[in-house]
Amino acid sequence: MDKEREIIPLKKKIKRYLKRILGLLLFCGILLLTRIFLFQVYSIQGNSMYPTLENGSIAFVWKAGFAISAKFFGTPWAYREPKIEKLDLVLFANQEGDLIVKRVIGLPGEFYSIEAGRVVIDSQMLLENYLPQGSFTSEPDNSIFLNLKNSPFLAMNSQGRIPPGYYLLLGDNREYSTDSRSMGLVPVEKIKGKVIFYF
């Protein structure tokens, strides 16, 4: 009779531990799916987005609808058309695969030009109050871009029309930013998310 009493509590303990383990696994699975498909916290490295973002700033990135690149998918995969608007801050993968944040300056189909240190989109000078005072936007330099073979990025000229599926991305700290002027127009599949909050 005593043995039966000992076995019953042991079974209850095993069931209780199994429930806890399953609950923990479920929680970890939800966190992982959220991290892959919906949301990411990103730490800013460098000052190419100064004064908007500084080295060490924290950005919260919304990833739903943007391209996902993970080893088990093989290639970047977008599960719906991302909503990207002018002046959004976006997280994207450069040619080396590093994740960086830049500002959307030109959208697909728009005609851009850089004139006298200012950006002009569809014949209208872009009002850029977020730039540091006295900022000068230099013309593109494709010397870095030309060294990369089979790049999905498109070389940028001092003026041109942005093809479908590509974006013109620039850093706010124009004189110290590596952006579309050197790496080219960015394909939508390289854009991983939109910054929705930062501090």
**Angstrom distances, CA of residue 73 to CA of 61, 67, 70, 76, 139:** 21, 11, 5, 7, 37
Residue 88: the pLDDT is 97
Q: How confident is the model at residue 76 (pLDDT cuts 50, 70, 90)?
A: low
Residue 36: the pLDDT is 63
Give dist(CA 40, CA 37) in Å, integer: 9
Which residue in 57, 63, 102, 190 is the catalytic one?
102
Note if 57 is an active site residue. no
**pLDDT at residue 80 tops 70:** no
Tens of pLDDT, residue by residue over 101-123, are: 999 999 999 999 999 999 999 99
pLDDT: is 168 or 7 the higher one?
168
Which residue in 11, 12, 13, 48 is the catalytic one?
48
Give dist(CA 171, CA 186) in Å, integer: 13
Note if 177 is an active site residue. no
Q: What percent of the chain has pLDDT over 70?
A: 83
Picking from 88, 73, 97, 78, the residue whose alpha carbon sits closest to that of residue 188 is: 78
Q: Are 30 and 46 in contact (CB under 8 A)?
A: no
CATH number of this structure's domain 39-198: 2.10.109.10
Q: Which of 26-35, 52-61, 78-87 has the lowest mean pLDDT?
A: 26-35
- Residue 76 CB: number of other CB atoms within 10 A? 18
Tens of pLDDT, residue by residue over 150-197, are: 788 998 989 999 999 999 999 999 999 999 999 999 999 899 999 999
